[in-house]
């Protein structure tokens, strides 16, 4: 039984919800339970009243994520629906809930005459995902501007933690176990709105020119190895345009895999493994995935 007999939560609970409807690659099998909270407080109530033995998966826009065709056991928390408030706490301190898009954070800060968050405009997905993986773009990274974070545990208890409670590295954040981000305070610098807005526009133009925007993709597939670029390595191996099923390496940016229509998660994962094998053989470098692969393989 997922919930106690008394239900005080106000969000929307779905069962056997197809994850392909919620991932940017448009693939992924069903989730046992799929909850859309209306607020952080509502999420806390839901977690207190749900079965604590069920695993949790936190989902934003579903970018940087590959959900296997067999789907997900347990509960998926869909942050997009209700955890989407952003506000100015002090002149240079901005509070952002995890369901706010990274691009919206960039725009809000620019409109508030703050600089330092412009790079977030180039990161697809929600700020919660950027926070979880220390996402970066154009030479900047998310945790450069984090002042503190708000966490929630499996029982719905909330706490505030400092940056010192986390080990942060390139595309990697490790902190207290069985706690999840629900909001963050960002410390920025005073700036000029017009200059920040202009930088946001320039960064978006750069992204649009270099990446396959408008296609079904999950962003950069592999991490850049030290001193090199995954896209360059994939390109020199002649893998642009390589495909398995309907999964295809982008001809515009070699570190993107596109679902050209009807691809399965198994197609995408097989293409990732093929890329790793070819680059390892020809360049002697084992590329590490930047996308997170979760869920069960489809045994049918």
Domain coordinates in residue numbering, the chain: 12-81, 86-210, 230-294
The two structure tokens encoding residue 68: 């296997």
In CATH terms, 230-294 corresponds, of 2.170.150.20, 3.40.50.1820, 2.60.15.10, 3.90.78.10, to 3.90.78.10
Which residue among the candidates 171, 187, 207, 243 is catalytic per the annotation?
A: 171
pTM: 0.89
**Residue 300 clears pLDDT 50, i.e. is over it:** no
Starting at the earlier edge strand, list the strands of the sheet with 86-90: 86-90, 93-97, 179-187, 146-153, 158-162
pLDDT (tens digit, 9 = 90+) per residue, 210-252? 888 889 999 999 999 999 999 999 999 999 999 999 999 999 9
DSSP type of residue 11: S
Which of the following is catalytic: 97, 118, 141, 290? Answer: 290
Q: Three-class SS of residue 126?
A: strand
CATH of region 12-81? 3.30.43.10
- Is residue 95 within 8 A of residue 89, CB to CB? The reply is yes
Q: Each residue of 140-151: b (16+ CB within 10 Å) or e? A: bbbbebbbbbbb
Question: Cβ contacts of residue 271 below 8 Å, gap of 6+?
Answer: 242, 243, 244, 247, 248, 249, 257
Q: Across the chain, how many H-helices and E-strands are there?
A: 6, 20
Q: What is the pLDDT of residues 134-189, one digit of tens each?
A: 988 888 899 999 999 999 999 999 999 999 999 999 889 999 999 999 999 999 99
| 220 labelled catalytic | yes
Helices (H), 144-215: 193-210
Which of the following is catalytic: 141, 220, 250, 269? 220
CATH code at 86-210: 3.30.465.10
């Amino acid at each position: 039984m997922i919930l106690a007999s008394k239900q005080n939560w106000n969000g929307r609970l779905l069962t056997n919800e197809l994850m392909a409807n919620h991932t940017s690659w448009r693939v992924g099998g069903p989730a046992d339970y799929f909850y859309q909270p209306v607020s952080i407080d509502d999420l806390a109530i839901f977690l207190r009243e749900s079965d604590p033995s069920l695993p949790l998966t936190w989902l934003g826009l579903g970018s940087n994520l590959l959900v296997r065709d067999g789907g997900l056991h347990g509960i998926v928390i869909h942050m997009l629906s209700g955890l989407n408030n952003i506000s100015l706490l002090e002149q240079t301190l901005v509070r952002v809930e995890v369901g706010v898009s990274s691009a919206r954070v960039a725009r809000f800060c620019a409109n508030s005459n703050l600089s330092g968050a412009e790079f977030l405009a180039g990161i697809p997905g929600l700020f919660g995902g950027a926070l979880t993986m220390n996402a970066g773009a154009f030479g900047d990274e998310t945790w450069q501007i984090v002042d503190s974070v708000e966490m929630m545990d499996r029982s719905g208890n909330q706490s505030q933690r400092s940056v010192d409670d986390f080990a942060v590295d390139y595309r990697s954040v490790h902190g207290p176990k069985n706690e999840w981000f629900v909001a963050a305070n960002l410390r920025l610098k005073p700036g000029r709105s017009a200059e920040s807005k202009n930088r946001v526009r320039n960064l978006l133009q750069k992204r649009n020119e270099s990446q396959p925007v408008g296609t079904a993709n999950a962003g950069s597939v592999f991490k850049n190895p030290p001193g090199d670029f995954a896209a360059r390595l994939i390109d020199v191996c002649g893998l642009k345009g390589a495909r398995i099923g309907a999964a295809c390496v982008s001809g515009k940016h070699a570190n993107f895999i596109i679902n050209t229509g009807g691809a399965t998660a198994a197609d995408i994962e097989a293409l990732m493994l093929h890329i790793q094998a070819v680059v390892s053989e020809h360049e002697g470098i084992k590329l590490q995935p930047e996308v997170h692969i979760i869920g069960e393989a489809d045994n049918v």
